[in-house]
Amino acid sequence: MSSPKITFIGAGSTVFVKNILSDVFHKPALKQARIALMDIDENRLQESHFVIDKLMKSVGANGIIECYTDQKEALKGADFVIVAFQIGGYEPCTVTDFEICKKYGLEQTIADTLGVGGIMRALRTIPHLWKICDDMLEVCPNATMLNYVNPMAMNTWAMFEKYPQIKQVGLCHSVQGTAEELARDLDLNHQDLRYVCAGINHMAFYLNLEKKQADGSYVSIYPDLLAAYESGRAPKPRMDNNPRCNNIVRYEMLKKLGYFVTESSEHFAEYTPYFIKPNRPDLIERYKVPLDEYPKRCVEQISKWKKDLEEYKQAESICMPESREYASTIINSIWTGTPSVIYGNVKNVDLIDNLPQDCCVEVACLVDANGIRPTKVGAIPNHLAALMQTNINVQRLATEALLTQNRDRIYHAAMLDPHTAAALGLEEIYSLVDELLIAHKDWLPEWINQ
């Protein structure tokens, strides 16, 4: 069997590209894959090339690595396109989103998925994703796009609305990652869990979450999770040892909703109106909400990467364990026909009955030589669907703003955001959006500020 061409757009994100391509090189059928690394930053691109080349040789892979700063050239003949970039970067754009929102009294934790920060990121990002789709239609129309770019739901929605012919799926590690965390909280092997999960990206819930017993049968772990939380045995410290973050928000929502949500507490806290409010430091303390978490992570990761790069330069080899990311599994299944099951973000076409039929949902997908095929869930509990709808409203309006070039929809999206509406009045929301649109002018489509 011939080997695929895998194009990585945003390859200057060396830590992420290292994890994804390490997984690829672990697959026997992909060890000779042709890798096209593309980024607009030549220095970071060369850093990635150095690391990936050493990683490939360390695991006995012998494919070809090529570097590009021209996107269309990198995409020519690609079988798979992995997308992982951040338009505007940590500086200046993410810093701007946090600083201006804070000036208005709107506190954030991550600001990459929903809320005013998520809306601004969507406005900066979606036009660039559309450009990738344009190039793919011209030079690799049969390729499958694996999209890792946030805000995931808005980005994926915007692409399947404007480019329905592009084969694409939005990927996140929150479903499988949270399952591992919960198994750890109960001292279980995560491989002994089975689950059905459904919803929208960063707000999907485990509709069934069970552990395997000695006799081979399965039983729900929800009673065990609640008992562990009430006794103080859960949540345990995070696997990444981040002292600022914990799972109190999600465990409290489990108590109220009866189901566990897939994305972290620091994320979930800003998707709802309950946890971050002006002049309510008691809520921040009670639920241990890490305000400004994303900027802090960026600073730490930049510093850590400089140290890691020096270590990689000195090391004779680079060996990485397989990660929990789905990209290599999808590529291997489509290329070899080996079936697998992943969770992906796709268009809701008769998948979840009580969510809008055109929104972006996250469900289990079957993958083989026929591609990625989402599985039908049916109706989910109505209170979960109602909570998701508050986020879908924002996703729809922000996406519609770009699809129809309707500036008003940007304000409407911010107005309907649960966290923003709980913190600010209407005039404050409009003024905040105005100021951010001006600050991001160089990163936005021209029609927005005309």
Residues comprising the binding site? 150, 172, 202
Q: Which residues are catalytic?
A: 173
Lookup: tokens for 34? 């042709």
Q: Which is it for strands 34-38 and 5-9: parallel, antiparallel or unpaired?
A: parallel
Taking the C-alpha atoms of residue 243 and residue 229, their distance in angstroms, rounded to an integer, is 18
Residues comprising the binding site for substrate? 150
Residues comprising the binding site for Mn(2+)? 172, 202
Taking the C-alpha atoms of residue 124 and residue 171, their distance in angstroms, rounded to an integer, is 19
Contact 341, 367 (CB under 8 A): yes
Cα atoms found within 13 Å of the Cα of residue 118, Cβ hemisphere only: 34
Cα atoms found within 13 Å of the Cα of residue 383, Cβ hemisphere only: 8
Which residues of 262-378 form beta strands (DSSP E)?
Answer: 340-347, 360-368, 371-374
Residues in Cβ contact with 210 at an 8 Å cutoff, skipping those fewer than 6 apart: 193, 194, 195, 218, 219, 220, 221
Mark 345-355 as b/e (b = at least 16 C-beta within 10 Å): bbbbeebbeeb
Contact 314, 307 (CB under 8 A): no
